A = this chain, B = another copy of it.
Amino acid sequence: MSKSEVIPADIKRLDAEDPLAEKRAEFYLPPSVVYLDGNSLGPMPIAARARARSVVEREWADDLITSWNVNRWIELPTIVGDKIGRLIGADSGKVICGDSTSVNLFKVLAAALSLQPKRFKVLSQRGNFPTDLYMVQGLAALLGESRCQLLTASADDLLDQLDESIAVLLLTQVDFRTGKIHDIRKITELAHEKGIVVIWDLAHSAGVIPLWLDDWQVDFAVGCGYKFLNGGPGAPAFLYVAKRHQGACQQPLSGWMGHRQPFEFSDDYHAHASVKQFLCGTPGVLGMSVLDAALSVFEGVQIQALRKKSLALIQLCRHLVSERPALSELQLLTPEEPEQSGSQLAYAHSEAYAICQALIARGVIADFRAPNILRLGFSPLFLRFEDIYLSVLALDEIVAERQYLSPRFQARQAVT
């Protein structure tokens, strides 16, 4: 990304007036890169680098096994869980950190079904992030269709399907392709009226959209540590369990860390009466420590302020794209109304893959989602308005000049 382009004064003013502008200094960002993929893998907070060194080179190397006590490793799942809780409107004791989003989905799915002895249908959305559907399919294959059955509906038809035959509603708030969001408060309320237990996947929500899970009476939620929470590649995930369900539901991944007295080493499992009943094996201390440090960038920040900046970044991007005739080839998939979308824009184009590669070659890191989506993520903690300006300039040149037709941008990579 060359900075030789002159940034217009009105763009410069947006950055000068940005109350979050100072947060950018808390991240390491490679020179000459505009990173529009913080929704897929957040960049490295400076504090995370320091913590990675200290957990490896001091806590592990010097303190060895004693770290479970002296460095409080044993408390990490709840310490980090509570920090995430503050970002999603959850009081202490509702959230734990650990495992992957997929594994956590399995736990909360089984737990939700355990609260519904007379129902067995799990309703989700067609085109939901695949792992959400796959985990229901895995549980259904294990339990049989008489105990767990996946139904899917389009976003438009979902609410019509909410009736007393549904046990569990499993939705992702932000559509990973289009960015369209669901109204958690409203849908949870409608589902509860029919006696349905609701699970929200907050993969693209946590850290960027104001959420009030306790107030909204959400039953269960899961989410990801490596997207807008910037916890590092494959960072541990999190899960939320409403207080009223803790101890009242059962989850089958009953590993020793979820036991009431894990260090008594008894032969019989007795679940912890708190959210700790959702712990399973030994926590991944390295990844969880790094996530813990990464969360420090949220200190002193209101999620509402993040949301406001996200929407301003998105609005600027859409405006700049709409001004450029060549970019009319791109079809906006994200809802027109800014409040209806998460912190991303999705454009369809038959050459989206190659356009994305051409952007990356120019230092604008976006991502591609099959079959034809160019996805731009807007992380308000570190992006500047000038980054958006420069990205649209690059995109305009790539599309106007058909640069994406170059064979080097057409060649497919393993992970796309």
Contacts and interface: CB of A to CB of B under 8 A. Distances in A.
A388 interface: no
A209 interface: no
A398 interface: no
A19 interface: no
B415 A69 contact: yes
Contact of A103 (B255, B262, B264): B255
Residue with the highest number of chain B CB atoms closer than 10 Å, among A64, A259, A268: A64
Contacts of A106: 252-253
Interface string A94-122: 00000111110010001000000000000
A283 interface: yes
Nearest to A134: B269
A269 B138 contact: yes
Interface residues of A, number: 95
A267 B103 contact: no
Contacts of A195: none
A332 interface: no
B287 A256 contact: no
Residue with the highest number of chain B CB atoms closer than 10 Å, among A64, A102, A233, A264: A233
A65 B37 contact: yes
A59 B41 CA distance: 12
Interface stretch (A1-9, A50-58, A164-172): A50-58
A137 B267 CA distance: 10
Given A106-B253, A269-B137, A64 B43 contact: yes
Contacts of A48: 56
A182 interface: no
A41 B69 contact: no
A61 interface: yes
A263 B99 contact: no
Contact of A65 (B49, B138, B367): B367
Interface stretch (A123-131, A210-218, A296-304, A344-352): A123-131
Interface of A: 28, 30, 33, 35, 37, 40-41, 43-44, 48-49, 52-53, 55-57, 59-62, 64-69, 73-75, 99-103, 106, 110, 126-131, 133-135, 137-139, 141-143, 152, 226, 232-237, 250-257, 259, 262-269, 280-288, 290, 360, 365, 367, 369-370, 413-416
13 contacts: A30-B62, A37-B64, A37-B65, A43-B64, A52-B57, A60-B233, A133-B267, A134-B259, A137-B269, A142-B143, A234-B288, A284-B284, A286-B286
